[in-house]
Amino acid sequence: MLKEIKNICCIGAGYVGGPTMTMIAAKCPHINVHVVDINVDRINAWNDPNTDHIPIYEPGLASLVNEARGKNLFFSTDVDRAIQDADMIFISVNTPTKTYGVGKGMAADLKYIELCARQIAAVATSDKIIVEKSTLPVRTAEALKRILDNTGNGVNFDILSNPEFLAEGTAVNDLLNPDRVLIGGEETDRGKLAQQALVNVYSNWVSKDRILTTNVWSSELSKLTANAFLAQRVSSINSLSELCEVTEADVDEVARAIGSDSRIGPKFLKASVGFGGSCFQKDILNLVYISKSYGLNEVADYWEQVIIMNDYQKRRFAKKIVETLFNTVSGKRIAI
C-alpha cells in the first residue's frame, strides 16, 4: 500500500538540507517538514526572526523560509522526536574526504552517515523511508540498510537515493526548476512503493517527465559522475588555456567556438584558475577510489588526471602572479 507522506524529517541543516526542505515545505503545505541538527548555533540562525540572518545566503531563500517557517517548516535540535514522528527521513550530513585510515585522501568519510543510521535505528518505532541526500559512494545504501535492519526495533526501513544537483548562487532556482530529480530505489514491491511516495512529493511542483527513477546504485553513481563530467570540462578548457597563451590564441574565443557546437554546449567551458568548492574534487577523488578498489586502474588514472590538471592550473596561475611581481610578493598587497 502506497504511504502518504505527512511528516518529513531532515537530519542536517546545512547547505543542502536547509534549502531543499524549505522548498518542499513551500510547495507542499500539507506536509510538515522538520529540519534537525545538533549544531545549536546553526538552528538558532535558521530560527532568527530576521531572515537576513539565516546561515545560508541564496537569492530568494530568505523569503521562502519566511513564508513557511512556523507553519509547516520547523528547525530544531530535537533529533529523536523528529525521527519518531517522521514518515520519511532525509539524511543530509557532511561526507568529507577521509583524512586518515584506508582510502585517506580519496574515499568519503561516512562516519556521520553511520551515526545517523544508528540513531534512527535506536529511536524509530514505526516504518520509515530513509532518503540519502548526501553525496555518497556507490553501495552506501547497502551499508545503511544493514545497520538499520540489524540494530532496529523490528521496524521496516526502505532506502532511497535522491542526490542533490545544486549550484552555489542558483540553489533556489535549481530546486524550483530542476533539470531532473533523480530517485533511486530498491527493485522490490516495497522499494517501488517507497520510490513512488517520494515521486509524489516532488510532483507537487516538478513535472513528471523530469523525475527520473532508477535503481539505488545507478542513482548514487550518477551524482558522482555528473560532478566528474562537469569538472572534466573545466580541466579540459584550462588545459587549452596554456596552449592558447603560447600560440597567441584567445581562449575565450576558442571556448565560444567550441561551445557553439550543440553537441558540446557552452556551460563550464570557462577558462579560469580551476574549480574549487566543496563537491568536484571530493567527488572525483571518491570516484577514483571506488575505481581503484575494483581494480579498474586505467579508469582511476583517467579521472585522476582531471584533478592533476586542476592542481597544475592553480600552481601555474600562482607562478604567473609571482613572476609579474618581479618574483617576490613580500610586502605586497594582492587584490582579487
Task: Write the pLDDT tens digit of every residue in 121-134.
Answer: 999 999 999 999 87
Residue among 194, 190, 162 nearest 178 (CA): 162
What's the pLDDT band for 108 if we cut at 50, 70, 90? confident
Examine the pLDDT at 152 and tell me if it is beyond 70: no
Closest CA to 296 of 143, 157, 164, 138: 138
Q: What is the mean pLDDT of residues 193-199?
A: 97
Give CATH superfamily name and number for 7-223: NAD(P)-binding Rossmann-like Domain (3.40.50.720)
Q: Which amino acid is at 158?
A: D
Instruction: Taking residues 221-246, report their average pLDDT.
Output: 94
List active site positions: 164, 223, 279
Q: What is the mean pLDDT of residues 174-179?
A: 96
Arithmetic mean of pLDDT over the chain? 92
Domain with CATH 1.10.1040.10 in the chain: 225-324
Count CB atoms within 10 A of the CB of residue 223. Answer: 24
Give the span between the Cα atoms of 131 and 141, in whole angstroms: 9
Judge contact between 290 and 140, C-beta under 8 A.
Answer: no
Q: Tell me which residue of 17, 168, 149 sits closest to 95, measured CA to CA.
A: 17
Integer Cα distance of 205 and 28 in angstroms: 9
For domain 225-324, the CATH class is: mainly alpha
Strand 32-36 versus strand 157-161 pairing type: unpaired
The pLDDT score that the predictor gives to residue 103 is 81
Average the pLDDT over 142-151 and give the result.
79
Q: Is the pLDDT of residue 2 over 90?
A: no
| Helix (H) or strand (E) segment spanning residue 181 | strand 181-185
304 Cβ contact partners less than 8 Å away, ≥ 6 residues apart: 284, 288
Residues of the chain with CATH 3.40.50.720: 7-223
